Every structure is written in C-alpha cells, then in structure tokens.
Amino acid sequence: MTLFKNKYALLKKGIKTRRGLLPPLVILCGVAMMPVAQAADTPVQGGTLIYATDREPTCLDPHVDGDMPQVFVAQQFLDSLVSMDDKGAIHPWLAKSWQVSADGKTYTFHLRDDVKFTNGEKFTSQAVKANLDHMANPATQSSTAGGYIRQYLSTDTPDEYTAVVHLSTPYAAFLEVLAQGFLGIEAPGALARSRDENCQSPVGSGPFKVVKWERQNQVVLERNPDYHWAPPYAHHQGPAWLDHIIWRFIPEPSVRFAALRSGKVDVIEALPPESETAASKNRSLTVLVKDRPGNPTYGGLNTRREPFNDLKVREAFVRAADIEGALASIFFNHFHRASGPLSPVTPFYSPDFAHADDYDPKRAAQLLDEAGWTQAEPSAIRIRNGKPLAVHIPIGASTSAPERTLWEQVQATARQVGFDVQLQPVSDAASTDLQGKWDYDVSLGYWNTNTPDVLRILFGSAFLGAAGSGGYHQNDTGFNNPPFDALVQQALETQDSDTRRKLYYQAQKIIADNYLQLRTYPQSTRLGIYKTAHDVRLEPSLTVTWLYDAWVSK
C-alpha cells in the first residue's frame, strides 16, 4: 500500500525555478528531472516549516493499517533498511550491504553500527527482528506492510549488526518494499508499548522526531540533532536544516490554498486542481507535481457476478466511459488518463497498453449486442432475459467530491450505450461491509507502491480471501487466472531484471486484455510551495514529500 485505497481508510483506517520574468516551473509526471522545488542558495539552519495537507492519519505508526497519510508523516521521522533511487535501483541505508541466498529465501543484512533511535536506543539486528515481527503480527493489523511481507518467517540475529531474514518463498520484490516508508524501522522499546500509544507517538531514527499530535489539528516534529545517516539520495549529511515542522490538517481545498497564497503555510499537499493554474502563474509560488508508482486510480469490476462475469460487458463498460472528457472538465486538464495496469513511473511499466481502454461508444454498443443485451430504442437501458443492465457502485463517505463527480460523468456516458449505473452513497462502514461480502459491481480504489508486484496483490488468486479486518480482500475484481498467477510468481523467483521485465510485460497484457478495471488517472503528489520554503523534495520510492533537505528563509 502502497497505498491508499478508499477501502483501506474504511478498514480502520536538482531542478530549480527560473527567476526573472518567467513564472515558476511546474515539474510534470514523467519528466526526467530531480523533484525539488524553489531555487535554493545557501541553506539556512533553523526555523519552522508549516506544511498543510488534506487528510489526517488514523495512526502515526505506518505499520498499522497502511494509509497514504501515515507514510507522508512517517517519511520525516523513520529511516528504512535500504533505499531506492529514481531509476528503481536499490542502495544501502540502515543496512550497509546484504546477500541473497541462491534459493532467494534468505536475506543477510549487514547493518550500520552508528545509528540511534531518538529515544536513545541503539539500532541493532534485534531492531530489525522486532520491526519485521511487528509488521507480520496479526495483532498489528498491518494491511500494507504486513501484506507486503506475507512470505516472512523469522529473523536470526547471529551478532549485534547482522540480521538474517528467512522467507517461506523467493520474493524478488522484498528489497523494493523495504525501501518504502510503510516498512520504516521503529525503536523496539516503542513497539513494545500498546498499539494506541505507539500510534500516538512512534519513535524512529530519522531526521525529525514526533513531539506531539494534536488530533484534528496538527503534528509537531522536531529536528533530531544526532542525525548523520541520511540515504544516498539526500543532498547533505548531518542534521536536518529545519528546527521544526508543523504538519497541519486543512481538509477544505480553498482554505488550504488561501493559506498558501497568503504565506500562512509554506507548503500544501493535494494542491486543488482548480487552483493549479493560478498557482503556476503566481510569482510567490512553485508547483511540484509527480506521479506515484503502483496501480492507478480505478474502479475494479467484480467478475464474480453479472454483468461483469462477461468479458464483452467489461470491455463495453470501459469503452463507454469518457474518462479523458471527465478529467478535462473536473480537474481542469491537470490530471492525465491512466495508461495501463501500472502507473508510468512504476518499474517495468510498459506503454503498450495505453490505448487498450480508449473511449469508443460504438465498440461498446457492438459488444453489448454480441453479449445479448438489447435496447428497445437508442439510449434506453439494455435488457437481457428481462433483467436490466444495472451496475451498482458504492460510494463511501470518504470519497472526495471530485471523485464522486468523475463517476457521475461515467454514469452519464455509460447511460448512452445502455448501462444503468447506480451510484450508492453509503457510510464508510457500510462500504467496507459491502466490499467484504462482494456485494458490488464496481469497487473504487488505488494502490501506491514502488513494485510491479502490485499486479499480484490486486489480481492474484492468493489475495481473494479475507485479509485484515472486515473481510477485506485485496483482489477486488475476483480475477482467478492460473497462467497469470504463474507469471507473477515466476517474477518473484528471479533477481534478473530482464527476466522480470518480460514476465511483468506478459502479466500486464493479461490484465489489459481482460478489462478488469476502469482506470482513471495515476495517483500523484501535487505540492504548492511558498517562496519562503526551499529544497522541498520528493523521495524516490513512493514519490512522497521529504523535508530533510528543506529550509526556510523567513
């Protein structure tokens, strides 16, 4: 997760701006540039950066549940065993080096011996064991981190700085997921506390530490003065430049943007699309936008019941949705159409499936005719065996207003070829219940992660059963395809990049050919940055904000 899926929340949830006459640059998804905003001269030590975002975490410990707002904050106070660069290559961090056994089931990590958590505990092999055990423990309710390491068996600690991790099966994506903030390393003593206490004030070894969390208001973070083990992608070593970060929660988009424009906050996340053009023209602001890796925002089609147990009907529904038109009107042309089962910035993404689900109402009508769904007259609801072609889509209370509007436009265009799309506003709890019972035709969500193994999680037969709480299943399409399962499993059994690329290409083709999702747009990090903030960067694994190098001039 990694991830936010709407359903997760329900579970429990080196480029510089040009100066002078030109407006600030906008860094667009897919452009090969270092994601950093605002021109920087010599960094200034000290000061407080105020950061405003739209959603508050349910828990500050990212091992618990696994929603994106958790990792946004956690990235500031946790370090990871390994790091990932913007090309997908794995590098050291808390682990200096590692070896993988010939059978792919044992990873031996050699650890740094100079790291301390902010509560004074030493980072040792026992900390690695405590963290992996914590993620894998069902009592942690770790939907994301725990889900990623289902293969985990145990960790041996032959000495203080060697951790030997045993897996039940080969798992080539293991190092990739270890680079994510969801699997960040926490102090063992803190993990030993109650779940609620650790949610309130987790302890890491990162450049900042959690001082306090004022619910429905803000999290206060303070600089770790002893920090000197930053990852390779950092632009300096030693403690962070900032003394404090105030991480505020401002759900209302217009209020959040007004706070940025007035300089009351230094950075906002989830820059409103209706404000993005104005922000890019404002000489006091910089816009930083980059796609996140994983599976794009989607509606998963339930293949376990009519009407989407029929491939022709699934393709017809996808072809009947004018997603590009909807994105243009709702998001002011700032969001682009998803172009396949993987987001373009995901390792082993292929562009070959970019047009597999283009809007084509004539093709949709032809497919429905072939499937036996008939119309009495143009634009009428189609019927087969006396039953209307109805599509039920639960819309949970936490679904954003733009997302609801997007699906209303899907409803309208699909209606033109004969689908009766019924959007069902429900509480988050009711949406979770319906999801657990497979009582839906379309399930809304997305999955942010830095590995193409997301295909196995979302479409593999091993993920059809209940996981976590509430009967939740990651594979919400019900897809059960042995050849696909074999491909993604083979991809986990080899460390060879060329072989993995070929296998994931075939897996993407199977998913595209089966029309299992109506994909809308890739998830992205969208920041608005006031002129007082400098060197605000995005870390490479999940493309989330990383403020270690940031500084302020005010």
Nearest C-alpha neighbor of 71 from the set 527, 544, 528: 544
Q: Rounded to an integer, what distance in angstroms lies between the CA atom of residue 308 and that of residue 482?
A: 19
Q: What is the pLDDT of residue 466?
A: 52
Q: What is the pLDDT of residue 35?
A: 55
* pLDDT tens profile 410-455: 999 999 999 999 999 999 899 989 999 999 999 999 999 999 999 9
339-361 average pLDDT score: 94
500 φ, ψ to 5°? -60, -40
Q: What is the pLDDT of residue 471?
A: 59
Fold type of domain 6-13+17-291+525-552 = D-Maltodextrin-Binding Protein; domain 2 (3.40.190)
β-pairing verdict for 285-291 and 524-530: antiparallel
Residues of the chain above pLDDT 70, percent: 92
Q: What is the pLDDT of residue 23?
A: 34
- Say whether pLDDT at 24 is over 90: no
* pLDDT tens profile 99-134: 999 999 999 999 999 999 999 999 999 999 999 999
* pLDDT tens profile 60-89: 999 999 999 999 999 999 999 999 999 999
Which CATH code, of 3.10.105.10, 1.10.8.60, 3.40.50.720, 3.30.450.20, is assigned to 294-522? 3.10.105.10
Structure tokens at 74: 């956690």
**Residue type at 133?**
D
Q: How confident is the model at residue 189 (pLDDT cuts 50, 70, 90)?
A: very high
β-pairing verdict for 294-301 and 517-519: antiparallel
More confident residue, 34 or 541: 541
CATH 3.10.105.10, the chain: domain bounds: 294-522
Where does 126-272 show beta strands of DSSP type E? 152-159, 162-167, 208-214, 218-223, 244-249, 267-269
- Say whether pLDDT at 497 is over 90: yes
The verdict on whether omega for the bond into residue 307 sits within 30 degrees of 0, i.e. cis, is yes
Q: What is the pLDDT of residue 355?
A: 84
More confident residue, 96 or 24: 96
Calculate the average pLDDT of the chain.
Answer: 92
Q: How confident is the model at residue 378 (pLDDT cuts 50, 70, 90)?
A: confident
For 284-298, give the DSSP string.
TEEEEEEEPSEEEEE
Q: Tell me the CA distances in angstroms from 113 to 93, 123, 160, one per residue in order.
A: 12, 7, 9
461-474 average pLDDT score: 69
- Say whether pLDDT at 14 is over 90: no
Q: What is the pLDDT of residue 1?
A: 39
Residues of the chain above pLDDT 90, percent: 88
β-pairing verdict for 218-223 and 208-214: antiparallel
- What is the dihedral angle through the alpha carbons of 345, 350, 354, 355, rounded to the nearest 10 degrees? 180
Where does 292-407 show beta strands of DSSP type E? 294-301, 383-384, 387-388, 390-396
Nearest C-alpha neighbor of 447 from the set 335, 396, 523, 537: 523
